[in-house]
Amino acid sequence: MGLHADPRPIGVFDSGVGGLTVLAELRRRLPAESTIYLGDNARAPYGPRPADEVRAYTLESVAWLLAQDVKLLVLACNTATSQALPLVRQVASVPVLGVVRPGAVAAAASTRAGHVGVIATAGTVASGAYAAAVGEADPTLAVTQLACPELVPMVEAGQLSGPIAEGAVRGYLGQLFAVDGEIDTLLLGCTHYPLLRPLIEQVAGPRVAVVDSAFTTALAAEDLLDALGGRTPHTGPGANRIVTTGDVATFTAVAGTVFGAALPSVERAAVTAD
């Protein structure tokens, strides 16, 4: 474990644009680090795909990022984390972080009542990854999950506030709290949801703490680099490459709606041989 300052970039992978929330937190906390983001938009969303397909696509995408000589790999994708993290860790030659565990640990630290709610896509809910990770952090906690299929399309359409967004969030949280009224910590188990965080906090009310994976995963990446002594020796702002396997114009439109003017020029790359 070479404990030397390391100028190489951090690789961030998502099936699409959602992982940009993790990238944004990483860059906010570690502005000197260079980053390479890969969105496998040509094959997104991963959620509905069978597990072996998710694993194969994730491994191809990760191989592409490793070929860019990254020092740390962040799976900023709940589906890839819940279905492929152990496999990626077996093949990767650098440390690998997923998004599930950091959020689960923060939720376990946050709840007073011992009741945690998780909202996520249908695929992530079905995987049970968050419930398992919260239980691993503290087996005494009660976890209630709810799939919120309308939220990702809503975020990608730029609807982060207003009556439609509020109606959707109010409907989902109403369902969740009807199942367990003692929930006092709400874990956002999808990388798109941090963009709805102000609205979700407003609807959930002050009694409920909202924990998001983007924030907690960025903290975990910072901790890992510090434990390894592997921060960049450079002090200026790091480079920020964003790459998609899909259509650049479509990616830029969706990502731009969501991230505004800070988005750099997006590149296209193929991660498969064909």
140 binds its own copies (CB under 8 A): no
9 binds its own copies (CB under 8 A): no
C-beta of 226 vs 247, nearer to its own copies: 226
* 164 vs 170: CA distance, rounded Å: 10
Cα 210 vs. chain centroid, distance in angstroms?
15
* Catalytic-role residue among 59, 190, 195, 221: 190
97 binds its own copies (CB under 8 A): yes
66 binds its own copies (CB under 8 A): no
First to last CA, the chain: 35
C-beta of 106 vs 129, nearer to its own copies: 106
42 binds its own copies (CB under 8 A): no
DSSP-derived secondary structure for 4-58: S---SPEEEEESSSTTHHHHHHHHHH-TTS-EEEEE-GGG---TTS-HHHHHHHH
Give, as ranges, the residues between 204 and 243 that touch its own copies (CB under 8 A). 206-207, 209, 211, 216, 219-220, 223-224, 226-229
190 an active-site residue? yes
**Do 49 and 113 meet the contact criterion of CB atoms below 8 Å apart?**
no
77 an active-site residue? yes
C-beta of 105 vs 131, nearer to its own copies: 105
C-beta of 2 vs 50, nearer to its own copies: 2
Q: How far is CA 54 from CA 59, 84, 152, 182, in A?
A: 8, 7, 19, 35
101 binds its own copies (CB under 8 A): yes
109 binds its own copies (CB under 8 A): yes
CB of 215 to its own copies, least distance (A): 8
Residue owning tokens 């731009």: 256
Nearest to 100 by CA among 117, 80, 122: 80
Question: Binders of its own copies: how many residues, by CB under 8 A?
Answer: 33
Nearest to 257 by CA among 42, 17, 19, 16: 17
Burial status of residue 120 (CB atoms within 10 A of its CB: 0-12, 13-18, 19 or more): buried
Q: Contact positions toward its own copies, by CB under 8 A?
A: 1-3, 89-90, 92-97, 101-102, 105-107, 109-110, 112, 137, 206-207, 209, 211, 216, 219-220, 223-224, 226-229
Give catalytic residues, as residue numbers: 77, 190
